[in-house]
A and B are shown apart, each in its own frame.
Chain A
Amino acid sequence: MRTDIPTSTLLEMQRRMTRIRRFEERAAKMVKRGLIPGTVHTSIGQEAQVVGSCMALDDDDYMTGNHRSHGHPIGKGSPLGPLMAELVGKATGVCRGKGGSLHLADFSVGSLGESGIVGSSIPIATGSAFASKLLGRPRVSLAFFGDGAANQGVLYEAMNMAGVWKLPAIFLCENNQYALSTPAHTVTSGNIFERAAGFDIPGVRVDDGQDVIAVYDAVKTAADRARAGEGPSLVEVMTYRFNEHSEGLRIDNYRDKEQISEWLSRDPLDRLAGHLRDRGITDEQLKQLDAEVMEEVDRAVEFANESPYPEPSVAFEDLYTDEVTAV
Chain B
Amino acid sequence: MSIMSYLGAIGAAQREAMEADERVVIVGEDVEANVYGTTGGGKSRSSEGDFLQMFGRNRIRNTPISEEGIVGIAAGAAMTGLRPIVDLSYSSFLYMAMDQFVNQVAKNRYMFGGQASMPVVFRSAMFYGLNTGAHHSDRPYPMFMNVPGLKIIAPASPEDAKGLLRAAIDSDDPVLAFEAVKLWGLKGEVGDEPFRIPLGVARTVKEGTDVTLVAISGSVPDACAAADRLGEEGVSVEVIDPRTLVPLDTAAILTSVAKTGRLVVVEPAHRTCGAAAEISALVAEEVFDALKAPIVRLTAPDMQIPFSPSLEQQMYPTRDGIAAALRRVTGLKPA
Which residues from chain A sit less than 8 Å from chain B, CB to CB? 62, 64, 93-99, 103, 105-107, 112-113, 115-117, 120-132, 134-135, 137, 141, 153-154, 157-158, 160-161, 164-165, 317-322, 324-327
Asked if B80 and A131 make an inter-chain contact with CB atoms under 8 angstroms apart, the answer reads yes
**Contact residues in B for A113 (Cβ distance below 8 Å):** 108, 111-112, 116
Asked if A95 and B151 make an inter-chain contact with CB atoms under 8 angstroms apart, the answer reads no
Asked if A127 and B64 make an inter-chain contact with CB atoms under 8 angstroms apart, the answer reads no
Asked if B100 and A123 make an inter-chain contact with CB atoms under 8 angstroms apart, the answer reads yes
**Contact residues in A for B66 (Cβ distance below 8 Å):** 157, 160-161
**Contact residues in B for A165 (Cβ distance below 8 Å):** 61
**Known contacts A120-B99, A120-B104: does B113 contact A95 (CB below 8 Å)?**
yes
Q: Which residue of B lies closest to A113 (CB)?
A: B112
**Contact residues in B for A120 (Cβ distance below 8 Å):** 72, 99-100, 103-104
Q: Complex: how many Å from CA A160 to CA B23? A: 23
Q: Complex: how many Å from CA A107 to CA B113? A: 11
Q: Is B76 an interface residue (CB 8 A)?
A: yes
Q: Complex: how many Å from CA A322 to CA B81? A: 18
Asked if B76 and A128 make an inter-chain contact with CB atoms under 8 angstroms apart, the answer reads yes
**Contact residues in A for B59 (Cβ distance below 8 Å):** 134
**Contact residues in A for B78 (Cβ distance below 8 Å):** 127, 131
Partner of A128, one of B68, B77, B104, B247: B77
Asked if A130 and B148 make an inter-chain contact with CB atoms under 8 angstroms apart, the answer reads no
Asked if A127 and B112 make an inter-chain contact with CB atoms under 8 angstroms apart, the answer reads no
Q: Is B79 an interface residue (CB 8 A)?
A: yes
- 11 residue pairs of the A-B complex, CB under 8 angstroms, read A98-B112, A99-B111, A105-B111, A130-B76, A131-B78, A137-B81, A153-B68, A319-B109, A322-B173, A324-B151, A327-B248
Indicate the member of A113, A124, A165, A318 with the most B CB atoms within 10 Å: A124
Partner of A127, one of B58, B72, B111, B115: B72
Min CB–CB distance B62 → chain A (angstroms): 10
Q: Which residue of A lies closest to B108 (CB)?
A: A113
Asked if B77 and A117 make an inter-chain contact with CB atoms under 8 angstroms apart, the answer reads no
Min CB–CB distance B329 → chain A (angstroms): 25
Asked if B116 and A105 make an inter-chain contact with CB atoms under 8 angstroms apart, the answer reads yes
Asked if B103 and A135 make an inter-chain contact with CB atoms under 8 angstroms apart, the answer reads no
**Contact residues in B for A141 (Cβ distance below 8 Å):** 76
Q: Is B293 an interface residue (CB 8 A)?
A: no
Asked if A135 and B200 make an inter-chain contact with CB atoms under 8 angstroms apart, the answer reads no
**Known contacts A127-B75, A130-B77, A132-B80: does B110 contact A319 (CB below 8 Å)?**
yes
Asked if B72 and A158 make an inter-chain contact with CB atoms under 8 angstroms apart, the answer reads yes
**Contact residues in B for A125 (Cβ distance below 8 Å):** 76
**Known contacts A158-B73, A324-B247: does B148 contact A127 (CB below 8 Å)?**
no
**Contact residues in A for B131 (Cβ distance below 8 Å):** none
| Top 7 closest pairs, chain A to chain B, by CB | A127-B76, A123-B72, A157-B69, A96-B113, A95-B113, A157-B66, A124-B76
Min CB–CB distance B273 → chain A (angstroms): 14
**Known contacts A123-B100, A157-B66: does B80 contact A112 (CB below 8 Å)?**
yes
Q: Which residue of A lies closest to B115 (CB)?
A: A107
Asked if B68 and A161 make an inter-chain contact with CB atoms under 8 angstroms apart, the answer reads no
Partner of A112, one of B116, B117, B171, B246: B116
Asked if A103 and B69 make an inter-chain contact with CB atoms under 8 angstroms apart, the answer reads no
Question: Contact string, B214-240, partner A, CB cutoff 8 A, digits 1/0?
Answer: 000000000000000000000000000
**Known contacts A127-B77, A161-B73: does B111 contact A98 (CB below 8 Å)?**
yes
Question: Contact string, B89-122, partner A, CB cutoff 8 A, digits 1/0?
Answer: 0000000000110011000111111111100000
Asked if A123 and B25 make an inter-chain contact with CB atoms under 8 angstroms apart, the answer reads no
Q: Is B313 an interface residue (CB 8 A)?
A: no
Q: Complex: how many Å from CA A47 to CA B61? A: 39
**Known contacts A120-B72, A120-B100, A324-B200: does B80 contact A127 (CB below 8 Å)?**
yes
Asked if A124 and B79 make an inter-chain contact with CB atoms under 8 angstroms apart, the answer reads yes
Q: Complex: how many Å from CA A326 to CA B110? A: 13
Asked if B69 and A134 make an inter-chain contact with CB atoms under 8 angstroms apart, the answer reads no
Min CB–CB distance B213 → chain A (angstroms): 22
Asked if A117 and B103 make an inter-chain contact with CB atoms under 8 angstroms apart, the answer reads yes
Question: Contact string, B147-178, partner A, CB cutoff 8 A, digits 1/0?
Answer: 01101000000000000000000011100000
Partner of B73, one of A112, A127, A153, A327: A127
Q: Is B201 an interface residue (CB 8 A)?
A: no
Q: Complex: how many Å from CA A124 to CA B82? A: 13
**Contact residues in A for B330 (Cβ distance below 8 Å):** none
**Known contacts A120-B100, A157-B69, A324-B200: does B76 contact A99 (CB below 8 Å)?**
no
**Known contacts A127-B74, A131-B76, A158-B72: does B104 contact A107 (CB below 8 Å)?**
no
